[in-house]
Amino acid sequence: MQSTLSTRPLTTPRLVFAVMAMTGLLSLSASGQIYAIDLGNVGPVYPISEPDFLVEVKLIVKRKVDNGEWKAIEQNLRRDAIQSLEHPLPVGAFTVAQENNVRYFDPTTTLQRDILDPEGQVIFPAGTKVNPLDVVTVGSALFFFDADDPKQVAVLEQTQTRLHGQVKPVAVAGSYLALSRKLDQTIYFDQAASYTTKLGIDVVPTLVSQDGNQLKIEEIAPQ
């Protein structure tokens, strides 16, 4: 059935007829029985004049490809992506350690639901306190620092020597990829401040290592 749009004003008789028609339609809808009837055209009918959206998008893209603008857009996106990787924004507000300080972090957590074995038997009921360091060992210490601060980088190198290389550098700010190439080693970045937020770290450089079933958090003042 072709959709139509009438331009004739609704006179009083036509208005009454329209109300009656709508009332009947609602009644049929409530009963679940609706039948389509072609009533023909009332008033002039006009074709749809709006252009097809997808066709318009394709035409715009084609014009940009033809005039070279699309290539420039791709180059700008690539440049911005590289820039964000080479010079990421700091993951938070950090102050430089002014003195050496040590504190401890207890990773104990309370289970929110039962832990089941493969047979469905409860091995750890909800409410049980669990410390992962009771059963696992952290192999390498984590060193959080600003990769753009030469003094903090010096502390990193000194710490790696002291701990015989058992240290994973984790940058919280700075051009960590450039430093990684310079030192010829992998340097991680604390994406979304996941580690520093969990451990409550807001001072750098900071060394995190396992001490029994706790984490030892050492703030080291650069010299």
Residue pair 156/169 in contact (Cβ under 8 Å)? The answer is yes
Q: What was the pLDDT predicted at 83?
A: 77
Q: What was the pLDDT predicted at 57?
A: 84
Q: What is the mean pLDDT of each run of 10 residues along the chain (223 residues)?
A: 46 48 50 55 65 82 84 81 81 95 96 92 92 91 97 97 96 95 95 94 97 97 94
Q: What was the pLDDT predicted at 78?
A: 82
* Tokens 């084609």, residue located: 62
Q: What was the pLDDT predicted at 39?
A: 58
Q: CA 107, 110, 114 angle in degrees (round to 5)?
A: 135
Q: What was the pLDDT predicted at 58?
A: 85
Q: Which CATH architecture has domain 95-219?
A: 3-Layer(aba) Sandwich (3.40)
What CA–CA distance (Å, rounded) separates 71 from 119? Answer: 58
Q: What was the pLDDT predicted at 182?
A: 96
Q: What was the pLDDT predicted at 84?
A: 74
Q: What was the pLDDT predicted at 41?
A: 59
What CA–CA distance (Å, rounded) separates 206 from 149? Answer: 14
- Residue 192, by phi and psi: left (phi above 0), alpha (psi -120 to 50) or beta? left
Helix 69-86 with 176-183: angle, nearest 10 deg = 70
* Tokens 């035409």, residue located: 59
Q: What was the pLDDT predicted at 2?
A: 47
Tell me the two tokens of residue 51.
């252009």
Q: What was the pLDDT predicted at 14?
A: 52
Ranges of each domain in the chain = 1-48, 53-86, 95-219
Q: What was the pLDDT predicted at 46?
A: 65
Q: What was the pLDDT predicted at 214?
A: 97
Q: Is the pTM of this model over 0.85?
A: no
Q: Which residues contact 111 (CB under 8 A, 6 or more apart)?
A: 124, 125, 126, 127, 128, 129, 130
Closest alpha carbon to 104 in 221, 220, 214: 214
